[in-house]
Amino acid sequence: MAGAISRLNRPPTVRRATHDPTWVRWTLTFIALAFLGLFLFVPLAAVFTEALRRGVGPYFAAFRNPDAISAITLTLIVAVIAVPLNLVFGVAASWAIAKFNFPGKSLLITLIDLPFAVSPVISGLIYVLLFGLRGWLGPWLNDHDIKIIFAVPGIVLATIFVTFPFVARELIPLMQAQGNEEEYAALTLGANGWQTFWRITLPNIKWGLFYGVILCNARAMGEFGAVSVVSGHIRGRTNTTPLHVEILYNEYNFVAAFAVASLLSLLALVTLALKSFVEARSHSLQIPQP
């Protein structure tokens, strides 16, 4: 019944000016999908195929290796420190930038984006030059027996640097679009600054914040170049998961290398799924623009 009604209501089939001929549609869709398949899907499929080449046993054995366990642990520790720090920074930066007017604002936004423009290798190098044995602070740190480079603090610093803008750049445009009216209303009704932030601002930005945090976390756990420069590759101590993949690969231990890589690929897939979920969610929540 419903089908019959909808068929009656269907407009007459006139080829609209904005429609391409069928053969063009098919050809373009085919080329686009073939390109994505070749460049994106094939590498992803290769990771899992290579990892399971010798079956499930050797695959899971790769995760029981003590070096693998310590690498995964270190990656988690680094993310647990770096992501919250950048989260707090992102919220503070977007509050200052979106809610207030001050001179030099657009310069500040550019400076926050700066780490994205810097090569990962250079992101590691700058800390070696600062804290390394031959760096500006190296001799002093050495005298006081503080290790930053080739140790966990250096890895954390480099990770914070490469993931620096993620949360801020997600929140700034969002908060700017939302304006200050709701916060003013809360203050007028007697709320203090913190209450206004927790009860009004935070619920308004929660999806944007979540979105920024997922991307920040994916990069923090997957960063390779910057961490590679500052880590020193000490097995069981300063090897993160991506560095562990590199070592296994260079030792021709391909099954283990791809097994650990498959774990990072799963993280990437979960990140993409969450990202689409948040995008769909925030679209449906979006208030239609006047």
Partner 1 sequence: MLGFASREQSALPGFRLTLGYVMLYLGLIVLIPLGATFLKTATMTWPAFVEAVSSPRVLASYRLTFGAALIAATINAVFGLLVAWVPVRYQFPGKKIVDAFVDLPFALPTAVAGIALAAIYAKTGWIGQFTEPLGMKTAFSPLGVLIALTFIGLPFVVRTVQPVLEDLEPELEEAAVSLGASRWQTFRRVLLPPLYPSLLTGFALSFARALGEYGSVVFISGNMPMKTEITPLLIITKLEQYDYAGATAIAVVMLVASFALLLIINLLQKWSQQRTRG
36 binds partner 1 (CB under 8 A): yes
Q: Which of 154, 208, 212, 242 binds partner 1 (CB under 8 A)?
A: 242
Looking at residue 41, what DSSP letter applies?
I
Q: Which of 3, 11, 12, 21 binds partner 1 (CB under 8 A)?
A: 21
Q: Which of 44, 69, 76, 177 binds partner 1 (CB under 8 A)?
A: 44
Residue pair 158/149 in contact by the 8 Å Cβ criterion: no
In 81-113, which positions are buried (b, 16+ CB within 10 angstroms) versus exposed (e)?
bbbebbbebbbebbbebbeeeeeeeeeebeebe
| Binding range to partner 1, per CB under 8 A, among 4-12, 20-28, 139-147, 203-211 | 20-28
Binding mask 106-135 for partner 1 (x = CB under 8 A): --x-xxxxxx-xxxxxx--xxxxxx-x-xx
Smallest distance, partner 1 to C-beta of residue 270, A: 9
Binding mask 137-176 for partner 1 (x = CB under 8 A): --------------------x--xx--x------------
246 binds partner 1 (CB under 8 A): yes
What is the footprint of partner 1 within residues 54-73 (CB under 8 A)?
A: none
Q: At what angle do helices 66-99 and 105-117 cross, to 10 degrees?
A: 160
Smallest distance, partner 1 to C-beta of residue 101, A: 5
What is the footprint of partner 1 within residues 257-286 (CB under 8 A)?
A: 257-258, 261, 264-265, 267-269, 271-273, 275-276
Binding mask 204-233 for partner 1 (x = CB under 8 A): -----------x--x--xxxxx--xx----
Smallest distance, partner 1 to C-beta of residue 1, A: 25
41 binds partner 1 (CB under 8 A): yes
CB pairs under 8 A, 24+ apart, for 251-257?
A: 254/50, 254/53, 255/50, 255/51, 255/53, 255/54, 255/58, 255/59, 255/62, 256/58, 256/61, 256/62, 256/65, 256/68
136 binds partner 1 (CB under 8 A): yes
Smallest distance, partner 1 to C-beta of residue 9, A: 19
Give how far the C-alpha of residue 48 lies from the chain's centroid of Cα atoms, to the nearest Å. Answer: 22
DSSP-assigned states of every residue in 218-248: HHHHH--HHHHHHH---TTTT--HHHHHHHH
Give the binding-site size for partner 1 (rule: CB under 8 A).
96
100 binds partner 1 (CB under 8 A): yes
Residue pair 214/274 in contact by the 8 Å Cβ criterion: yes
| Binding range to partner 1, per CB under 8 A, among 5-13, 62-70, 205-213, 237-245 | 237-245
28 binds partner 1 (CB under 8 A): yes
Q: Rounded distance, CA 179 to CA 200, Å?
A: 12
Which two tokens mark 135? 């760096």
Task: Say if residue 218 is exposed, middle or buried (CB neighbours under 10 Å; 0-12, 13-18, 19+).
Answer: buried
